[in-house]
Amino acid sequence: MAIQDIYPTALRLLGRPVLVVGGGPVAARRAKGLLDAGARVTVVAPLACPALNGLADAGLLTWEPRTYRPADVDGVWFVQTATGNPAVDAQVGADAEAQRIWCVNASDHEASAAWTPAVAVVDDVKIAVNAGGDPRRAMAVRDAVATALETGDLPLRRRRTTTTAGSVALVGGGPGDTGLITVRGRRLLGQADVVVADRLGPRELLRELAPDVRVIEVGKTPGHHPVPQAEINRILVDEALQGHRVVRLKGGDPYVLGRGGEEAEFCRQHGVEVEVVSGVTSAISVPAAAGIPVTHRGLAKGFSVVTGHEELSEVPARADHTVILLMGVGQLRDSTAALGRAGLPAGTPVGIVENGYLPNQRVTIGTLGTIADQAEAAGVANPAVIVIGDVVRVSPFAPSHFKTADYSTTSPNAPRTARTTQTRVLTP
């Protein structure tokens, strides 16, 4: 049998009687697959392996503990033979052929009237792969296709209108690099009918969407919210109630200063299914792009994340407690002054990372007493993450006089020299 002789199709066996001849592990796997399809399974075999015995004891299938008889194929819709005895399998196949019943012969794929493909299920998509009768090859191809669907590299989006209710997924896209979105987030983005997008996050992924996927821009900048939060909430619910799969694509993590909790609550109040997909928050990942850990042995055991200088009175004013300011460039001078008044020394290291992980990433390093002037002179702008504390000393971009023997780094690192990253280091 050549692969050109195969006509791929799918059988709907719900409630229909099928026959499995054989009692070993292969027969058990085939019986389990047929049960998953809703078939009424009868197994004929003198002996049954533990897996088949368990299915029979649970009442999920009927086991006839005897040898095969030609009459066993009467009235069935489909036959699977896996006795391990080629002569018996061939006889079953011949009896099924005589009654025009499709039969899979596990002993001889060339003589088999039907083949069982390697199968995987992703969402409501079932993948079935035949590979010229080579089961290991079929499984390898199946796994590769399933992985591509899981990761969003292949499209899972529905093309036909269904009666399925709409839904909302709040997806954290990470700090902006397309490789830092989660696998789950990428998959949901590939299934979306509507994407409600922030101005931050993995914007390049929007270019990969199908032409008929609607993108609704709701991006905000500090002090400028062209689409109010209440309107964003309404958009999510209205689109989902129309039966659409909606992805709210955010930068960072939707539950870290992203108002994701408000959006999820509003959806649930209006009967809309909502899923929250965590992302890599910029509060931690963007400092890491500049080699700055938010905690480090011997330097800092904890950190606080704030968005405005008025919150700084609540955080420890110590160099061994890292303070992370998000979108804080406009208030940087006020924030550093507030920390100084709270007792943080003027020589405390400060790092600013603009456009983390993007080609125009830039790092500015100074101290609490100098960083505001440095940032102003360099034209530092949001999006940026500001890190205040001794952990900045660990950065490979820190000046040599920032290095101390008080932490566990054994040798200084060289700054990144990737061609796509432009970095400027400003020091006091």
Catalytic site residue from 32, 108, 143, 220: 220
Distance CA 252, CA 237 (A): 22
Q: With beta carbons less than 8 A apart as the criterion, state whether 260 and 185 touch.
A: no
Give me the catalytic one of 72, 177, 198, 390.
198
Packing angle of the helix pair 371-378, 332-341 (nearest 10 deg): 170
**If we measure between CA atoms, which residue out of 63, 62, 58, 18 comes closest to residue 38?**
18
Q: How many Cα neighbours within 13 Å face the side chain of 335?
A: 26
Torsion of CA 379, 358, 176, 374, to 10 degrees: -20
The three-state secondary structure class of 270 is: coil
Contact of 23 with 49, CB cutoff 8 Å: yes
Cβ atoms of 319 and 345 within 8 Å: the answer is yes
- CB count in 10 Å sphere of residue 333: 15
Token duo for residue 257: 């200063």
User: Who's near 55: CB < 8 A, 6+ residues apart?
Assistant: 28, 31, 32, 35, 61
Q: Specify the 3-state DSSP secondary structure of 212.
A: coil
CB atoms within 10 A of CB 366: 23
Place of tokens 């296709």: 145
Reply yes or no on whether 250 is catalytic.
no
> Is 334 considered catalytic here?
no
What is the Cα–Cα distance from 383 to 326, expressed in whole angstroms?
8
For residue 70, whether the previous peptide bond is cis, meaning omega lies within 30 degrees of 0, is: no
CB contact set of 253 (below 8 Å; sequence gap of 6+):
172, 260, 278, 279, 280, 281
> What residues are labeled active site?
198, 220
